[in-house]
Amino acid sequence: MAITLSERAAQELKTLLEESGIQGAGLRVWVAGGGCSGLQYQMAIDDAEPEETDLVFDSHGIKIYVDSLSIRYLDGSHIDYVEDVFGGGFKIDNPNAVRICGCGSSFQTEDEMGMPGTGCGGCCCCG
């Protein structure tokens, strides 16, 4: 499968890249341990050459870099740009997530269900 961007997310990224003057950059997406649900999404603009073990996807003209460990948790995900009363930001719709924190930045997969230390422990959104 792959990781894809909505047209809106791609447009926001293109604007961000143009405004920052970064040429040839892409979006790096990865998963890190932590967050109230066990795993956290991380994203950053990356203007370096992809690592040898990275998977590289193209969605609406934006390159997306994912390391070989994170793809296990992110495969099939779709990234959108949404606006609400708190402002705008990128939101990941992840078909592998079986539990999502209220703020949407942390998640748990089937593999992590029932592991000690996972589950909401009172993060910024769950109190």
Which domain range does residue 16 map to?
A: 4-112
Give how far Cα 109 sits from Cα of 36, 72, 94, Å.
Answer: 13, 10, 10
Please, are residues 112 and 73 in contact by the beta-carbon 8 Å criterion?
no
| Within-domain flag for 27 | yes
| Within-domain flag for 89 | yes
The pLDDT assigned to 41 comes to 83
| Within-domain flag for 85 | yes
Q: What is the CATH number of the domain that holds 44?
A: 2.60.300.12
| Within-domain flag for 102 | yes
Q: What is the chain's pLDDT, residue by residue, as a tens digit (127 residues)?
A: 799 999 999 999 999 999 988 888 999 999 887 666 577 889 999 999 999 999 999 999 999 999 999 998 899 999 999 998 778 889 888 887 766 655 555 555 566 544 444 444 444 444 4
The pLDDT assigned to 1 comes to 73
Tally of domains in the chain: 1
The pLDDT assigned to 117 comes to 45
The values of phi and psi at residue 19, to 5°, are -65, -30
| Within-domain flag for 126 | no
